[in-house]
Amino acid sequence: MAGAAAAAARSVVPTERFAARTAGMTASEIRALFAVASRPEVVSLAGGMPNLAALPLDSLAVEVADLISRDGQVALQYGSAQGVPALREQICEVMALEGIRADPDDVVVTVGSQMALDLVTRIFCDPGDVVLAEGPSYVGALGSFAAYQAQVVHVAMDEHGLVPELLREALQTLATQGITPKFLYTIPNFHNPAGVTLAVERRAEVLEICTTYGVGVVEDNPYGLLGFSGRTYPALRSLDRDVVYLGSFSKTFASGLRVGWALVPPAVRDRLVLAAESATLCPPSFTQMLVSRYLAGHEWRTQIKTFAEAYRDRRDALLQALETYLPDGCTWNVPDGGFYVWLTVPEGVDTKAMLPRAVTARVAYASGTGFYADGFGSRQLRLSYCYPTPERITEGVRRLAGVLEAELDVMRTFGSSARQVGPAPRNGPQTPSPHTP
């Protein structure tokens, strides 16, 4: 009998024991791409990997050695769940650059801002809850929302970012269905993937609309200091202390250290720290202390400028190549910072279906559908200019243009161009709307 019970137990397929919420966890298209895109012969315009070539590796090596020899007993030990106090103070100095006045007690250090996103979703969202997010939105955030079975309602952007009237409309529509979203998730600066920045004049209005409808705001800002004009924008958190603000050292220092943070209202902090504790006990002392030393002993502001200059050169190379090579009917935005250009291809081209052909032609991009929770985005794709050299970017776009020409050729030959609505616009920088609702 015991043997029969054991046999029956063995016959249960382990996947049948998965929790229901794992059904929403699918490998992001971007992760699946990394394997092929990282082949040296492929020009990858797909991933958002920061370019670390400009980092002062020699002096960082000295810093690491000194950290271990002087403070190894602390750096290699467990630490506080909320994060190293000295680093939390320095994080407040970093945030001050965007107008935020914060108390280090309200900062929770996380393993990258991705963990902060996960924790925030965990403490706010029950299955079925609605979250508002720009359309398109950051794929990692959509992954967290799916993992906690939250539903995403997208709000469209134009060239000035999230459109307040459309936000109000979405909230009004949801209100008539008796739904109050848990929060608006927004990336106001140098958006991933859309590349746009929320106009300063819209910021207070977005906050005011959310307050009116009783909706929280989660501001995700990993790129804010990487503006190409040297300009920074007032954080939403600087205008409203109830905003949950997420920051990261991934793009301004080193993504491999996995140090990010959440700045939360005091009423949220304890719950967030408990969630963090259950996830990791504490963030790594070693990387936090390294970041802290870097901020204390290095010209980090100058380093950020150096990064931004390199990214600006790469953006220029990308824009130039798009103008030169892409066929008519393509439109794109001109980002003023960050890593990304959002490209709309001619009607009838499906960027997800085209991707294998692009990789065969040795260029990779991120297709648009991964950035929507609702299947939109098949005519869009994201190009990241952060990592390849300007020469490789130019070559990558030349290859992409060849693939697009071939798609259009097939469409013309087999008559799919009948689906074309109206005349194709001339190619060029796009205004407005990365996502027309």
Ligand X SMILES: Cc1ncc(COP(=O)(O)O)c(C=O)c1O
Q: With binding defined as CB under 6 A, does residue 400 bind ligand X?
A: no
3-state secondary structure string, 189-249? Answer: CCCCCCCCCCCHHHHHHHHHHHHHCCCEEEEECCCCCCECCCCCCCCHHHHCCCCEEEEEC
What span, in angstroms and rounded, lies between the C-alpha atoms of 27 and 221? Answer: 24
Q: Which is nearer to ligand X, 43 or 109 (CB)?
A: 109
192 binds ligand X (CB under 6 A): yes
Q: Which of 138/365 has CB closer to ligand X?
A: 138
Least gap, CB of 249 to ligand X (angstroms) = 7
Contact 51, 388 (CB under 8 A): no
Q: Is the CB of 149 or the CB of 255 nearer to ligand X? A: 255
For the beta carbon of residue 297, count every other beta carbon within 10 angstroms: 12
Let me know: does 240 contact 207? Beta carbons within 8 Å. yes
User: Residue 149 or residue 192: which is nearer to ligand X going by CB?
Assistant: 192
- Residue 220 interacting with ligand X (CB under 6 A): yes
> Do the Cβ atoms of 116 and 246 come closer than 8 Å?
yes
Site for ligand X in 131-160 (CB under 6 A): 138, 140
- CB 59 to ligand X: min, Å: 23
Minimum distance of ligand X from residue 409's CB (angstroms) = 35
Q: Is residue 47 a contact partner of residue 30, using CB atoms and an 8 Å limit?
A: yes
Asked if residue 262 lies in contact with residue 107, where contact means CB atoms within 8 angstroms, the answer is yes
Instruction: Supply φ then ψ for residue 384, to 5 degrees.
Output: -105, 125
Q: Is 284 in the site for ligand X (CB under 6 A)?
A: no
Burial zone of 177 (CB within 10 Å; 0-12 exposed, 13-18 middle, 19+ buried)? exposed
188 versus 329: smaller Cβ distance to ligand X: 188
Which residue type sits at 253? F
Q: According to the binding rule CB under 6 A, does residue 113 interact with ligand X?
A: yes
Q: Is 222 in the site for ligand X (CB under 6 A)?
A: yes
Instruction: Figure out which of the listed residues 150, 163, 187, 264 binds ligand X, where binding follows CB under 6 A.
Output: 187
- Interface with ligand X in residues 224-283 (CB under 6 A): 248, 250, 255, 260
| Interface map 34-73 toward ligand X (x if CB under 6 A) | --------------x-------------------------
Round to the nearest angstrom and report the end-to-end CA distance of the chain: 62
What is the distance, to the nearest Å, from the Cα of residue 406 to the centroid of all Cα atoms in its chain?
Answer: 31
Q: Is 337 in the site for ligand X (CB under 6 A)?
A: no
d(CA 188, CA 224): 8
**Among the listed residues 98, 384, 102, the one whose alpha carbon sits nearest the alpha carbon of residue 231:** 98
Judged by beta carbon, residue 164 or residue 222, the one nearer ligand X is 222
- Selected from 112, 161, 181, 284, the binder of ligand X by CB under 6 A is 112
When binding is defined by CB under 6 A, the residue of 44, 90, 114, 149 that contacts ligand X is 114
Cα separation, 24 vs 309, whole angstroms: 39
Which is nearer to ligand X, 206 or 330 (by Cβ)? 206
Please give the residue whose beta carbon sits closest to ligand X in the complex. 112
Q: Which is nearer to ligand X, 254 or 322 (CB)?
A: 254
Nearer to ligand X, 341 or 349 (CB): 341
Q: Should residue 384 be labelled a site residue for ligand X when binding is judged by CB under 6 A?
A: no
Task: Residue 58: count other Cβ atoms within 10 Å of its Cβ.
Answer: 8
The residues that bridge with 162 in the sheet, in sequence order, are 157
Q: From the CB of 250, what's the least distance to ligand X, in Å?
A: 3
> Binding residues for ligand X, how many (CB under 6 A)?
14
Report which secondary-structure segment, H or E, holds 184: strand 183-186
Does 90 help bind ligand X (rule: CB under 6 A)?
A: no
Among 110-118, 209-217, 314-322, 373-381, the segment contacting ligand X (CB under 6 A): 110-118
Q: Which residues bind ligand X (CB under 6 A)?
A: 48, 112-114, 138, 140, 187, 192, 220, 222, 248, 250, 255, 260
